[in-house]
Amino acid sequence: GAVVSQHPSWVICKSGTSVKIECRSLDFQATTMFWYRQFPKQSLMLMATSNEGSKATYEQGVEKDKFLINHASLTLSTLTVTSAHPEDSSFYICSPPGTRGADTQYFGPGTRLTVL
Amino acid sequence: QKEVEQNSGPLSVPEGAIASLNCTYSDRGSQSFFWYRQYSGKSPELIMSIYSNGDKEDGRFTAQLNKASQYVSLLIRDSQPSDSATYLCAVNGATSYDKVIFGPGTSLSVIP
């Protein structure tokens, strides 16, 4: 099945700095990647959809200038949290689209971001 | 606005009992339905997917779908302490590239 990796698995940074999270598809080519955010004891919320070779699509309420998404190749999508603040501390997870009719909706292992 | 609702729990069941998790959704056009298990600090893990009305069984897990009632459930038979986790119901649209909307999750605790 589809394997997705994320790096780093966790990161601690100071307020005001930027953090880049990488999502790599290891055994398939991903033209699209979903980025989710999960606050403690809450469900996953879709932030944006990255598309290889074009601009990302952001969900309502998500600041596109703060959460920069780049889908540079068919195997790499990145999320950069710019000028991070403590309220950005969360669990960020990438996920490729599933294949309808097959049990193949996978998630990356996630990145735990803590902003001090 | 697409919505997926679940009882937040926590739901506590004794070891060996049947755990019943329920989910309702608002978008009648939804085509794909998923149950995920999420341990604390980990990513969700797909347990079951169901696409047509009725029951689907996989080992100790049975997913039930009723599109007319916009209702999907997950039964866990012979519950084990290792089943203790948060269970997320998720709903997809008509195509595989449609957005997956997650419910808030139900916390399940299986008491030895």
- The string of pLDDT tens digits covering residues B48-106 is 999 999 999 999 999 999 999 999 999 999 999 999 999 999 988 766 566 788 899 99
Cβ-Cβ contacts under 8 Å, A101 against chain B: 51
Provide CB contacts within 8 A for B39, sequence distance 6+. B45, B85, B86
Residue B94 confidence (pLDDT)? 64
Strand B106-111 to B11-14 pairing = parallel
Residue A101 confidence (pLDDT)? 46
- Report the residue of B2, B30, B96 to disrupt the A interface, i.e. the one with the largest count of A CBs within 10 Å: B96
Contact A109 B51 (CB under 8 A): no
Contact B46 A110 (CB under 8 A): no
Tokens of B49: 């997917």
Over its length of 116 residues, how does chain A's per-residue pLDDT go in tens digits? 568 899 999 999 999 999 999 999 887 788 888 999 999 888 899 999 998 888 899 999 999 999 999 998 888 999 999 999 999 999 999 988 765 544 556 789 999 999 99
**Whether A54 contacts chain B with CB within 8 A:** no
Q: Do the beta carbons of residue A37 and residue A87 sit within 8 Å?
A: no
| Half-sphere exposure for B23 (CA within 13 Å, toward CB) | 28
Distance of residue A107 Cα from the nearest chain B Cα, in angstroms: 7
Contact A100 B41 (CB under 8 A): no
Q: What SS3 class is residue A3?
A: coil
Whether the per-residue pLDDT at B32 is higher than 70: the answer is yes
Read off the DSSP letter of residue A16: T
Tokens of B15: 């070891």
The residue with greater pLDDT, B21 or A105, is B21
φ, ψ for residue B68, nearest 5 deg: -65, -40
Residue A98 confidence (pLDDT)? 65
Cβ-Cβ contacts under 8 Å, A109 against chain B: 42-43
Residue A22 confidence (pLDDT)? 96
Q: Please give the distance of CA A36 from its chain centroid, rounded to a whole number.
A: 6
Cβ-Cβ contacts under 8 Å, A105 against chain B: 34, 46, 49, 90, 100
